[in-house]
Chain A
Amino acid sequence: MYKNFLRYIISVLFFLGVSGQANADFKVGFVYVGPTGDHGWTYQHDEGRKAVEAAGIKTTYVESVPEGADAERVIRQLAQSGHDLIFTTSFGYMDPTNKVAKDFPNVKFEHATGYKREHSNVSTYSARFYEGRTLLGHMAGKMTKTNVIGYIASFPIPEVIRGINAMTLAAQKVNPDIKTKIVWVFTWYDPGKESEAAQALIDQGADVIMQHTDSTAPVQVAEKAGVWSFGQASDMQRFAPKSILTSIIDDWAPYYVERSIAARDGTWKQQDTWHGLKEGMVAMAPYNSAMGSDLVKEVEQLQKDLASGKTHSFTGPIYDQKGNILVAEGSVADDGMLAGMNVYVKGVEGDIPQ
């Protein structure tokens, strides 16, 4: 009896050991900067995580992790507790991610929106949000009556400047008289500040509002004031059904599923990913029919052209505010220039805060 029992235990342990090697306990961890219910940035990353879960891979997430001294511990704990692939989804996790990656060479790390890949097990990924901004600019240029477009911007980093420029260039193409007014709120998520900024822009004559911040406050202010707006990160249509023309959607799900499966199957390699409309990492919410079916068709065509590469958001000639040429006629800006963009194009009002 006792011997049989022992044999049984040993066989169970052996079985567990074998199945463990077959990656049955492969786990993916996610570190979020905000709450999953922000309806913006973190919400979309969590949608991506759910897709990974739906693909049959176990996931864990930690939300509202401050970008200070705590981030390193959370990432390390995920690595230590048997997670094989860890997505760190905010810029501020860049240094902690690389630090932990050094100590866990067998764990894979993916950092969103950063540029440091100090170890071979760290990849970076981001989306070409500026392609969506080009579509927004086209619509804004057509829809504005006051020729003033209000832009709520977070931080003067290349990603945000790129969006402002792409939008302004596209708007100028269809309406040479437009001006872009910007309010810098220096936050990614602060409904109070964002709605104040939206109101200030409307008071200055803007009748189209767009945002590079994550809360739904600006679109709600726009809805109340009866001006047009665009949603950010996720489809915010239900928060401002009349005002929203469309939303730029960050769709991380295909990437997260692909990378998780690659890591599980041992085909994961270090890379720097920058996907856009073509791959579907940037997607557009349904277009508001209030802008008229002609414009909707135009925008849909432009979306196809951007996705196929027929049109590029930054096609020359492009001038800076002083009139110096940035991109020559007939050529397009390369990724290196886009990645480090730190000047406004002509037509944007004000200076980049330094």
Chain B
Amino acid sequence: MIKIEKRNDVSPSIYFLTPILAIFLTLFGGGIIFFVLGFNPLEALKFFFITPISDLYGFSELLVKATPLCLIAIGLSFCFKSNNWNIGAEGQLIFGGIVGGGVALLFYGHDGFYVLPIIILAGAIGGMIFAMIPAVLKTYFNTNEILVSLMLVYVAKLLLDYLVVGPWSNPEGFNFPETRQFSESARMPTLFDGLRIHAGIFITLITVFLSWLILYKTYLGFQIKVSGLSLKTAKYAGYKGKTMIIIVFMISGACAGLAGVGEITGPIGQLHRNISPDYGFTAIIVAFLGRLNPVGIIFASLIVALTYLGAETAQIFLQVPKYTGQVFQGMILFFLLGSDYLLFFKIKFLGLKKNEL
């Protein structure tokens, strides 16, 4: 007989150590996979995790990749902490990109320091509004926010498709599905010559700081955490549940929208159909890997970003299939959830009693 029991006390240090354990298990599991595929595991892991960041350019790319992931995950942590399952960050990112990109096109050819801030603000508001749809539907019509937010991703994707194919397509672009390149004034300034790392990283860092402030130093943060732990307690304490749901979705959507606008004004420089390689979904892994903690999320976003870069490098140098990157992301989540389970529950092996036979 096997019996599963809830553990009563979980030590906080172990709670924050399990993500690191999950990463090590992933490395180990990855090594086995490489070995089975016929590669030297140590060499493959080196190309996967060390080579991509062995020079300044690689390190800058890591930050470019981690910036949107971190930003979205921070926003999601507000939702997840309060038991609101916002799965549609991808859609909020795209919608933020659409609104920000629309403003950028509106200012096409304009110079001036005010252009970029307006675009960034527009992107954040766009994501915020898009995230409010599932929030309002949940609070006033009792719909399931998982389904609504997820399906809105496709709405945003199709809207972007429509815009870049039709009304917003580059008039000199031979009908190719993309807008003009934004003017220089609408581009995120890069920090160093020759590197793609851009000012978006400051937005991310400021957001991380603000969210830490809100979550740990304000009454709102306290309310969010209490409702996450027990909805009944929150109601009993008299917290306004509906307002809070809408607020966390707004924060989450604004972060995703900022990520979208950071991508299109940063490394991409225009709107087309592939502005995000599913950052909004990957950020869910990042949020949980980072334990919904602002500092944890910074590290988690760097690690997950590295799996993307590593997959490319490993393919270039060893011709390892590119999808191993996704396998690694999957393994990290698997080992994290697995160790979480063992963290909160213990499995007891009981001997069979005679009368049970």
Residues of A within 8 A of B (CB): 29, 60-70, 72-74, 76-78, 80-81, 91-92, 95, 103, 115, 155-158, 186, 340, 342, 352-354
Task: Please tell me which one of the listed residues A61, A62, A69, A342 contacts residue B175 in the complex, with CB atoms under 8 A apart.
Answer: A342
Q: Which residue of B lies closest to A155 (CB)?
A: B177
Contact (Cβ within 8 A) B274 A66:
yes
Q: Which residue of B lies closest to A158 (CB)?
A: B174
In the complex, which residues 281-325 of chain B have their Cβ closer than 8 Å to any Cβ of chain A? 308-309, 312-313, 315-317, 319, 321-323
Q: Which residue of A lies closest to B263 (CB)?
A: A69
Interface status of B275 (Cβ within 8 A of chain A) = yes
**Min distance, Cβ A67 to any Cβ of chain B, angstroms:** 5
Interface residues on B, range: 35 or more
With a cutoff of 8 Å between Cβ atoms, the chain A residues found around residue B277 in the complex are 66, 68, 70
Interface status of B181 (Cβ within 8 A of chain A) = yes
With a cutoff of 8 Å between Cβ atoms, the chain A residues found around residue B313 in the complex are 77
Q: Given A68-B268, A155-B177, A340-B174, A81–B165 Cβ distance below 8 Å? A: no
Contact (Cβ within 8 A) B176 A62:
no
Q: Which residue of B lies closest to A115 (CB)?
A: B174
For the complex of A and B, list the 3 residue pairs with the smallest distance between their C-beta atoms, beginning with the closest: A69-B267, A68-B274, A156-B175
**Min distance, Cβ B200 to any Cβ of chain A, angstroms:** 11
- C-alpha spacing A50/B194, complex, angstroms: 34
Interface status of B139 (Cβ within 8 A of chain A) = no
Interface status of B57 (Cβ within 8 A of chain A) = yes
Interface status of B184 (Cβ within 8 A of chain A) = no
With a cutoff of 8 Å between Cβ atoms, the chain B residues found around residue A74 in the complex are 312, 316
Residues of B within 8 A of A (CB): 57, 61, 64, 161, 165-166, 174-178, 181, 194, 196, 263, 266-269, 272-277, 308-309, 312-313, 315-317, 319, 321-323
Contact (Cβ within 8 A) B272 A92:
yes
**Min distance, Cβ A186 to any Cβ of chain B, angstroms:** 6
With a cutoff of 8 Å between Cβ atoms, the chain B residues found around residue A115 in the complex are 174
Task: Please tell me which one of the listed residues A73, A103, A155, A156 contacts residue B312 in the complex, with CB atoms under 8 A apart.
Answer: A73
**Min distance, Cβ B152 to any Cβ of chain A, angstroms:** 20
With a cutoff of 8 Å between Cβ atoms, the chain A residues found around residue B57 in the complex are 76, 80
**Min distance, Cβ B142 to any Cβ of chain A, angstroms:** 32
Task: Please tell me which one of the listed residues A62, A76, A95, A155 contacts residue B322 in the complex, with CB atoms under 8 A apart.
Answer: A62
Contact (Cβ within 8 A) B316 A78:
yes
Contact (Cβ within 8 A) B272 A68:
yes
With a cutoff of 8 Å between Cβ atoms, the chain B residues found around residue A81 in the complex are 316-317
Contact (Cβ within 8 A) B176 A67:
no
- C-alpha spacing A22/B61, complex, angstroms: 33
Contact (Cβ within 8 A) B174 A77:
no
Q: Given A63-B322, A91-B176, A103-B194, A69–B166 Cβ distance below 8 Å? A: no
Task: Please tell me which one of the listed residues B165, B272, B315 contacts residue A353 in the complex, with CB atoms under 8 A apart.
Answer: B165
Contact (Cβ within 8 A) A60 B165:
no
List 9 interface pairs A-B (beta carbons < 8 Å), by A numbering: A61-B315, A67-B274, A68-B274, A77-B313, A92-B272, A155-B177, A156-B165, A186-B161, A340-B174
**Min distance, Cβ A109 to any Cβ of chain B, angstroms:** 16
- C-alpha spacing A92/B161, complex, angstroms: 15
- C-alpha spacing A354/B275, complex, angstroms: 21
With a cutoff of 8 Å between Cβ atoms, the chain A residues found around residue B275 in the complex are 68
- C-alpha spacing A92/B268, complex, angstroms: 11
